């Protein structure tokens, strides 16, 4: 069979020429870096007590987009990648570890397993009804106590800690209320040890820390035999942001390409495990929007909410904006979270202003180069996914179209932009029509097989 004849080739080249002409007409004249002036101003303001209750003496900010660091700065009395006590941000690491054990189903372990399935001492009225899911969403009935002495005892095992915790009667019927605290997670950690036959810190090293290269992350409270499951980790901005980016990337580490958690496990972590009918006995967030070891839909004070939030008592926190594929980590243990909560929301809003979703090449502008990336990635789960739905498609083009701008980040760019007219809506419409028609043609069966309805053998 001969190659496709001129009728197909003419249509293809016509679309290509039209698209090329549109790209040249709309291309912005220069590239620019992200303008994080506003974010930096908020950070410096926090040192002076602005937008916080009390000044924050030192901290570090690390921001990733599509797994790529686009901002990493230190402020005040802090140093780059200084280890910090992450406090309750440990819950998110432990939640991920629970999901890893559930993925492997070692010993029949799942979120809906009961503590009593692995800890016979919990096979008594009330306690036998508690599931792993409830234990990691603060709805187990076990009192929410972050200061219980058992969490600090070094010379006992997790199994012994679980037995001590059971000596206190349940505070409420399992599943009927929300009471934030770490005791139930300590018990679930003991159950995971029994299910896998491994010590908890070995599980952490094998399934999370080592594959994610978290070389500066370790349990420092209380001991190797009784690690504080819900609050004992020390980590750095780089380590923790890589961990959170794995969650943002559907369970795959973007550095190595290795899958750490299943997609279903990540989705379960980010799914609210509570409901509005459950009364709140204790909550540092004044709500019960909680997944598996992680807060969901938080920090909406100054902008859109973050889909997932790990937060510690002394200010260390990290949030995920999956729609824009952003991971933000604020590393400190010199403040407290309530002091920086509104500030973090303000920073989120400022970041969204500075980092357009359709800036696929990370140059600070949404321009023709970004369209080229979208076009190349069309139909694949790649960098042209502006809305982070796992697919590069027409919706991402519409986001590119909505965000298309000429560079305004610098004085030089402003000068150049003054001489280039903003693309007219008619031109963009023509651009969209040409782009979509060409892509539809490329993905048609005729194009893939080298034939067309008018081609002749």
- The domain segmentation of the chain, as residue ranges, is 6-33+365-449, 49-354
| The model's pTM | 0.80
pLDDT tens-place string over residues 37-81? 999 999 999 999 999 999 999 999 999 999 999 999 999 999 999
What token pair was written down for 50?
A: 């602005």
Pure H helices in 150-279 = 158-165, 183-196, 200-204, 237-248, 263-269
- What is the CATH T-level fold of the domain 49-354, as seen in this structure? Beta-lactamase (3.40.710)
Cβ atoms 414, 432 nearer than 8 A: no
Give 3-state DSSP helix, strand, coil % of the chain, rounded to 5.
Answer: 40, 10, 45
Residue with tokens 């998110």: 92
User: Which helix (H) or strand (E) element contains residue 63?
Assistant: strand 58-65
Mean pLDDT of each 10-residue bin along the chain, 457 residues long: 35 45 41 82 98 98 96 98 98 98 98 98 97 98 90 96 96 98 97 98 98 98 97 98 98 98 98 98 96 98 96 98 95 98 98 84 76 82 68 82 62 41 47 55 47 33
pLDDT tens-place string over residues 191-237? 999 999 999 999 999 999 999 999 999 999 999 999 999 999 999 99
- Which of 229, 10, 285 shows the shortest CA–CA distance to 98? 229
Cβ atoms 348, 306 nearer than 8 A: yes
**Strand ranges (DSSP E) for 177-334?**
178-179, 218-219, 233-235, 280-282, 295-298, 306-311, 317-321, 326-331
Pure H helices in 199-336 = 200-204, 237-248, 263-269
The string of DSSP letters for 23-55 reads: HHHH--S-------HHHHHHHHHHHTTTTSSS-
């Amino acid at each position: 069979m001969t190659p496709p004849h001129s009728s197909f080739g003419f249509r293809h080249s016509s679309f290509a020429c039209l698209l090329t002409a549109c790209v040249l007409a709309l291309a912005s004249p220069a590239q620019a870096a992200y303008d994080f002036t506003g974010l930096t101003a908020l950070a410096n303001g926090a040192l002076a007590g602005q937008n916080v209750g009390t000044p924050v003496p030192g901290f570090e900010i690390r921001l990733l987009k599509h797994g790529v660091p686009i901002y990493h700065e230190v402020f005040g009395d802090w140093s780059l990648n200084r280890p910090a006590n992450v406090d309750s941000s440990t819950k998110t690491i432990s939640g991920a570890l629970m999901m890893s054990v559930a993925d492997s189903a070692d010993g029949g372990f799942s979120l809906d397993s009961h503590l009593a399935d692995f800890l016979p001492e919990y096979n008594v009225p009330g306690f036998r009804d508690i599931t792993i899911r409830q234990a990691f969403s603060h709805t187990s009935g076990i009192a929410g106590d972050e200061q219980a002495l058992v969490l600090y005892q070094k010379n006992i095992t997790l199994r012994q800690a679980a037995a001590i915790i059971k000596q206190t009667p349940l505070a409420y019927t399992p599943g009927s209320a929300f009471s934030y605290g770490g005791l139930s997670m300590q018990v679930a950690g003991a159950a995971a040890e029994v299910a896998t036959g491994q010590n908890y810190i070995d599980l952490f090293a094998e399934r999370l820390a080592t594959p994610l290269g978290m070389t500066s992350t370790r349990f420092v409270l209380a001991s190797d035999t009784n690690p504080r499951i819900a609050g004992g980790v020390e980590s750095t901005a780089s380590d923790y942001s890589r961990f959170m980016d794995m969650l943002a990337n559907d369970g795959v580490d973007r550095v190595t390409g290795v899958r750490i958690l299943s997609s279903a496990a990540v989705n379960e972590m980010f799914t609210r495990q509570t409901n509005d009918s459950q009364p709140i006995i204790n909550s540092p967030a004044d709500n019960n929007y909680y997944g598996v070891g992680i807060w969901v839909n938080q920090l909406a004070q100054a902008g859109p909410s973050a889909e997932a939030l790990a937060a510690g008592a002394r200010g260390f926190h990290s949030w995920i904006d999956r729609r824009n594929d952003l991971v933000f980590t604020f590393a400190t243990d010199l403040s407290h979270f309530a002091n920086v909560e509104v500030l973090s929301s303000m920073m989120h809003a400022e970041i969204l202003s500075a980092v357009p979703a359709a800036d696929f090449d990370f140059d600070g502008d949404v321009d023709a180069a970004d369209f080229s990336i979208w076009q190349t990635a069309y139909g694949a789960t790649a960098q042209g996914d502006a809305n982070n739905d796992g697919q590069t498609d027409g919706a991402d083009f519409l986001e590119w179209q909505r965000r298309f701008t000429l560079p305004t980040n610098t004085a030089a760019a402003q000068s150049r932009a003054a001489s280039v007219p903003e693309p007219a809506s008619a031109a963009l419409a023509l651009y969209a029509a040409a782009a979509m028609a060409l892509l539809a043609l490329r993905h048609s069966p005729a194009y893939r097989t080298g034939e067309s309805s008018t081609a002749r053998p």
